[in-house]
Amino acid sequence: MSDLEEATTLLRAAHRDLQALTGMLDRKVFADEIFGFHVQQAVEKSLKAWLAVLGDAYPYTHDLMSLMQRLEGLGHQVLAEFEPLLEFTLYAVQFRYGFMDTLDESPDRQGAIALVSRLYAAAVDQVNLAGKLGDRPC
């Protein structure tokens, strides 16, 4: 699979998570850990798509900080704008197994969705740019 194809596949998966988030605003229906998990997944897949289209062999990790730092190492400044999303790394594994009592407050769902949407759009822009330039952007 080419870098562009891998990035496109990851973005499709991120889009499904993002769509799910828009239906999870009601805390009575969707627990914080379910919402947080889908935020984390949408962010992780968007970052990995961005890395893939740059030709980076991203690591197998759920750590959003390491993925953002990897992008910054490749010259893409993303950490400052999307730093609030780093807190969702905790939802990748730990909180899915009943450790929610360690949270002080529930996540801002609308704010998280807006920020994930911006990150996803930035990743889509990178993939679209790569598609116009060939398999790897210059």
pLDDT digit string (tens) for 42-70? 999 999 999 999 998 888 889 999 999 99
- Is 75 domain-assigned? yes
Hey, which bits of 52-100 come out as E strands?
Answer: none
CATH of the domain at 100: 1.20.120.330
Each residue's pLDDT tens digit, 63-113 = 999 999 999 988 888 778 899 999 999 888 765 565 555 567 889 999 999
Which pTM was predicted?
Answer: 0.87
In a domain, 62, yes or no: yes
Q: Is residue 85 situated within a structural domain?
A: yes
Q: Does any domain span residue 95?
A: yes
**Residue 138 resides in a domain:** no
Binning the chain into helix, strand and coil, the percentages to the nearest 5 are: 70, 0, 30
Whether 38 is in a domain gets the answer yes
**Number of structural domains in the chain:** 1
The domain of 120 spans 3-133
Q: What value, to the nearest 5°, has the Cα angle with vertex 80 and ends 49 and 23?
A: 60
